[in-house]
Amino acid sequence: MSVANEAPATAANEAAVTPDVPILELRHISKRFIKPLDAAAKVANLFGAGMRDEIVHAVDDVSLTIDDGEVVGLVGESGCGKSTLGRVVAGVHAASGGDVYFRARDVSTMGQKEARDASLRIQMIFQDPMSSLNPRLRVQDVVGEAPRVHGLVAQSDVEDYVADMLLRVGLDPTYARRYPHQFSGGQRQRIGIARALAVNPDFLVCDESVAALDVSIQAQVLNLFMRLREEFKLTYLFISHDLGVVEHLSDRVVIMYLGRVVEMAPTDEIFGAPNHPYTHALLDEVPRLDTRKRKFVPVKGEIPSPLDPPSGCHFHPRCPHATERCRVEQPHLKEIAPNRWSACHLNDAL
């Protein structure tokens, strides 16, 4: 309980004016992946080769508060750390630094029972349902196993419970005895959703959950997400590279680039008046139905390797407005307007 009263450590916290406790709070979360030296490199080091471990800062000091019932869209290109952040939130990865607070309780200091309960409350839906569903289990076991093991339903009621869950995600309950491979991609994604919902979560982390689906099926699943949000009072962290999907679904959007949050704002504002040059570039490149025969003006350069990110502001080699300061000094997230955060030195010049 001691942590709950601690003064908010991050700047992001001061923005949250709601008196209610946020459902999830990330404070200075970092996640590093280290590839240790192999035997050959160690031997080489004995002779003074001076090789070092390869370290990837997948997530670099991210602070984020998510309120109850909110849909937060997390956007970025490949390698920006959005999936890693989602996995830290869902408890799949442990953070290398920083703390995750669930309903104002530090997840790392919870007792065993409480921690298990908290982890049940946060569920994850993956991009590829084929690799996240056990191909050798029938749907009723995929969906029914977790609630049975955790004692949420009695053994005798599991069948009815699974049937109810399948109905809610728009699947025929008579399919319960089938295997995942007997379903189409869209249906499989629905099974993945039913599996997550079966343990009665409050918070869903959706990692590219509609990316692999055809447009018409994608619309069906997005509608399902919106209906379930009402029905189960869910909070979403919706991770996607598809800005159209994020714009449609989210209340607030967080943009990441090479492990850092570069901009964070309510959806209307970020799409209406992006602040960070990277957000600008990203929005300009999004193909839209209404822009015909457009002149594509490319952003220069490639996404740098997260193994060796550029100094200062990670975006500076591709940024049209980069100055000397951007090359040396890392910009920090600052509140540029109420509830609008951006990490860019250009805002200081205004």
Partner 1 sequence: MIHADVPTLEVRNLKTHFFTRAGVVKAVDDVSFTVQPGQILGLVGESGSGKTVTGFSILGLVDPPGRVVDGEIRYKGENIANAGEERMRRLRGNNIAMIFQDPMMTLNPVLRVDTQMIEAIQAHEQVGREEAWERSRAALQQVGIPAAEERLRSYPHQFSGGMRQRVAIAIALLNKPDLIVADEPTTALDVTIQGQILYEVQKLCEETGTALIWITHDLSVVAGLADDICVMYAGRVVEHGTVDNVLDHPSHPYTHGLIGSVPSRNRRGQPLSQIPGMTPSLLNLPPGCPFKARCPRVGDACDEAPEISQPVAGRDVRCHYPVPAGETAGETAEVPA
Q: Which residues bind partner 1 (CB under 8 A)?
A: 77-78, 170, 184, 186-187, 214-220, 222-223, 226-227, 241-245, 247-249, 267-268, 281-282, 284-299, 302-303
**For residue 190, what are its two tokens?**
């629905």
**3-class secondary-structure state, position 182:** helix
If the CB atoms of residues 6 and 214 are measured against partner 1, the closer one turns out to be 214
Q: Contact, 135 vs 179, CB < 8 A?
A: yes
Nearest Cα neighbor of 270 from 281, 258, 254, 257 is: 254
In terms of phi and psi (left: phi > 0; alpha: psi -120 to 50; beta: otherwise), the region of 221 is: alpha
Nearer to partner 1, 26 or 245 (CB): 245
How far from 151 is each of 139, 144, 161, 200, CA to CA, in Å? 19, 11, 13, 12
Which residue, 57 or 82, has its beta carbon nearer to partner 1? 82
Q: How far is the CB of 258 from partner 1 (least distance, A)?
A: 12
What tokens appear for 66 in the block? Answer: 């998510």
Question: Least distance in Å: CB of 210 to partner 1?
Answer: 10
Minimum distance from residue 248 beta carbon to partner 1 (Å): 4
Indicate the residue among 102 and 315 with the shorter CB distance to partner 1. 315
Smallest distance from the beta carbon of 4 to partner 1, in angstroms? Answer: 32
Three-class SS state of 183: coil
Residues 6+ apart with CB under 8 A from 5: none
Residue 67 or 242: the one with the smaller Cβ distance to partner 1 is 242
By beta-carbon proximity to partner 1, the closer residue of 116 and 233 is 233
Quote the least distance from Cβ 271 to partner 1, whole Å.
9
Q: Rounded to the nearest 5 degrees, what angle is found at the Cα of 120, between the Cα atoms of 119 and 125? A: 95
